[in-house]
């Protein structure tokens, strides 16, 4: 990853003046910086995950406005509870079945889930998708850096 590109992404997130704009910029920058196909951001509300925004290079949209019960997706719950990212690839033998089913339904090979931290909790969930291949540790580290920037900006735009 080019340091200039990461700096541009950081500046783009920090320049947003609304929560809506920040979420849209976050999904776009995640796709561009990670070389991914699509990204969605959802809000954590109790046991509910509510889709708020998405960006995709795929010909089909994600399920914008979707709602999922967090408890139905153990790996998603783990990300939200721990704040630690998780990677899933359909080809992994030990991949969490509910996540694999969702990847198959959406037509992607791999998923990187990252907590969007704000106000000392997991405010939301960032889901980054690839049509082919899998995410690596470097991409995970970049995603964490971007979500930290987005989380700090979110705290400024939407104080508790």
CATH code of 44's domain: 3.30.450.40
Over the stretch 33-44, which tens digit does the pLDDT of each residue have? Answer: 999 999 999 999
Q: What is the pTM of this model?
A: 0.93
Strands (E), the chain: 38-45, 48-56, 67-69, 86-89, 110-118, 121-130
Rounded Cα distance between 6 and 12, Å, is: 10
Task: Please give the residue range of the domain that contains residue 119.
Answer: 3-157
| Cα-to-chain-centroid distance, residue 143 | 8
Strands (E), 57-153: 67-69, 86-89, 110-118, 121-130
Total domains present in the chain: 1
User: Torsions phi, psi of 123, nearest 5?
Assistant: -70, -40
Q: Which two tokens stand for residue 39?
A: 């990204």
Q: What percent of the chain has pLDDT over 90?
A: 77
The CA-based dihedral angle spanning residues 43, 46, 47, 48, taken in that order and rounded to the nearest 10 degrees: -40
Over the stretch 41-92, which tens digit does the pLDDT of each residue have? Answer: 999 999 999 999 999 998 766 765 578 899 999 999 999 999 999 999 999 9
Q: How many CB atoms lie within 10 A of CB 149?
A: 19
Rounded Cα distance between 92 and 57, Å, is: 24
Strand pairing of 67-69 and 86-89? unpaired
Q: How many CB atoms lie within 10 A of CB 50?
A: 14
Q: Going by C-beta distance under 8 Å and a sequence separation of 6 or more, which residues neighbour residue 131?
A: 37, 58, 107, 108, 109
**pLDDT at residue 26 tops 70:** yes
């Amino acid at each position: 990853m080019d340091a200039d590109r990461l700096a541009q992404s950081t500046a783009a997130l920090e320049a947003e003046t609304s929560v809506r704009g920040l979420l849209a910029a976050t999904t776009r920058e995640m796709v561009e910086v990670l070389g991914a196909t699509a990204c969605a951001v959802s809000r954590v509300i109790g046991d509910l995950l509510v889709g708020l925004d998405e960006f995709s290079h795929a010909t089909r949209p994600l399920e914008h406005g979707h709602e999922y019960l967090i408890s139905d997706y153990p790996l998603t719950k783990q990300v939200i509870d721990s704040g630690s990212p998780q990677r899933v690839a359909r080809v992994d033998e030990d991949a969490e079945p509910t996540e694999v089913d969702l990847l198959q339904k959406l037509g992607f090979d791999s998923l990187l889930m990252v907590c969007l931290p704000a106000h000392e909790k997991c405010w939301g969930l960032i889901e980054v998708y690839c049509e082919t291949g899998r995410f690596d540790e470097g991409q995970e580290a970049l995603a964490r850096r971007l979500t930290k920037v987005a989380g700090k900006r979110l705290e400024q735009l939407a104080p508790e």
